[in-house]
Structure 1
């Protein structure tokens, strides 16, 4: 358990947790290696094109008990170091506006959902690398004040596929990974063995680092500055397996970043190179407990983003069915 203040986790000493630094030249070479541009049509669904009716049937066959586990966080209206743009919720009708019976009660909600406070999906228009979206189109030409004309969330639709939980704290016998700890390719392989899972084509991979258990016990911190997550060296393995979706209780990236000059290198590789949408800020504690109780870390996963034409993503409450 960390002895550091909750709002200021200590950075990894000398990059030890993150591994050696990765140069931009090395990163660009990796970007080219995992890139899947021009592979699918429609292109703005990216890796979701991998998921066929057969994948859906396979995922449905994983259901045993019928237990439904929601993975989204509660709507968070409280300012915090990791929720600098709190969600809005206020009543717009308290039953005293309309005369006829029955009276009604109405409310308004609003949110700037990209960030660390809201469970959300990143569509392919959310990330550009070197000015290019997934597929190579110029971001300045395809995303403007009216939204995205390529890679918007409405192009994705719902996803039903097999989910795989990589529960790293469970594998390591810890309550959580400390902010700044990187998950490498070797850790992914070790987790597959320990949890008796195998990542395959069309799967959704969810990484649990124990962020929200740590947050509940120690309080919030600036997760944009320090977070456990994937090192870029894990991405080629995920690309080789042909995943359709990547997510976790962080935003998939380890921070501080191991790549010079890049704050979110896994975002760039997954979204802009591989066409893999991301799920950020999931609460995976209940799913972890269910996995520990059943010994099963594979499940049916349902993700249904809002249909927002031009949207770069969507708040979302994914559901795992065990």
Structure 2
């Protein structure tokens, strides 16, 4: 399908500008997480405070359905087969079980997933200077998704950028700036604070639902790298989006996924990619608020670089 070229609207970022931004964020986060990265901001106090967000008791998924058919943005879809279809007797008597086998390319461009802190290798290290050699063919021995084994539970805040701009979605190649995030806070009468799970809607899933899949690895909307200073200043616990979080093409010369580098590697943020907020938005509009209790429970995969997830918002 033909797509609008928005690359000229992206403020380009030189390697020197990116390097200076990376160092600022890395220094801000240095030693603050005690090996847990930004999850250290999720304390018993912040979880108790987040529980107070539950008022109506309505729950809604933030995950996209897992897909098993190839599409332009998902050429290696999840595999699913019944390993033991029930062989029910003619009279329907007796006990039988149906069993399944699943497989998934976790870090694809369609399925909802969590990026662990070992997912991003930059200049030979992981977050906090952990050697990249800790990630081997047998798995990660440090900073794996096991860090989040007790769940990521806190106050979720959804900032809806298409709503702010009065459009159904941001076009592929467009980006979200720090000014957009501040303006969305003002428009939605909410403020992102320490320990929050910041969720940024760009409308990727709605566009995909209405116009069909496209090669999202080549072009998609996301955050501009400079927006990550907003997250550092507010000391958020995690970042999620209905896209990959990174804009494509990258606005940073020589760095393909600058938001991943700044978020995961510099700030120690677990990233949630390819969520969907189309079920959540109408509930937020009905209740007149954009914050809620959010529960993210990755699978216990002790050596994995990520996990499929089904985050739940509780209003």
Partner residue, 1:93: 84
Distance 1:120 1:199 in 2: 23
1:205 offset after TM fit, Å? 0.6
Partner residue, 1:115: 108
1:138 offset after TM fit, Å? 2.1
Change (3 A) 1:292 1:149: same
The normalised TM-score by structure 2 is: 0.95
Partner residue, 1:142: 134
Structure 1 residue runs without a partner (length 5+): none
Distance 2:69 2:129 in 1: 39
1:10 offset after TM fit, Å? 2.9
1:11 touches 1:226 (CA, 8 Å); kept in 2? no
Q: Secondary structure at the match of 2:80?
A: strand
1:226 offset after TM fit, Å? 1.0
Aligned length: 309
Partner residue, 1:9: 3
Deviations 1:137-191 (A, max 9, x none): 221x110011001110012220110001011111111111111111111111100
1:251 aligns with 2:247: no
1:163 touches 1:205 (CA, 8 Å); kept in 2? yes
Partner residue, 1:58: 49
Deviations 1:68-127 (A, max 9, x none): 0111111100111111110001010012399x9311111111101102121000000000
Distance 1:106 1:153 in 2: 26
1:178 aligns with 2:171: yes
Distance 2:271 2:120 in 1: 10
1:252 offset after TM fit, Å? 0.8
Partner residue, 2:263: 270
1:318 offset after TM fit, Å? 0.2
The normalised TM-score by structure 1 is: 0.93
1:37 offset after TM fit, Å? 2.9
Q: Secondary structure at the match of 2:37?
A: helix
Match of 1:198 among 191, 197, 203: 191
Distance 1:94 1:205 in 2: 42
Q: Secondary structure at the match of 1:126?
A: coil
Distance 2:84 2:261 in 1: 43
Deviations 1:21-57 (A, max 9, x none): 111111111111011232232x0x2110111111111
Q: Secondary structure at the match of 1:188?
A: helix
2:4 touches 2:171 (CA, 8 Å); kept in 1? no
The residue correspondences of 1:24-39 to structure 2 (distance < 5 A) are: 24-35=15-26, 36-39=29-32
Distance 1:174 1:117 in 2: 22
Distance 2:94 2:255 in 1: 58
Match of 1:78 among 46, 69, 72: 69
2:157 touches 2:199 (CA, 8 Å); kept in 1? yes
1:9 touches 1:221 (CA, 8 Å); kept in 2? no
Distance 1:156 1:67 in 2: 25
Match of 2:280 among 255, 276, 287: 287
Distance 1:128 1:289 in 2: 38
Partner residue, 1:316: 309
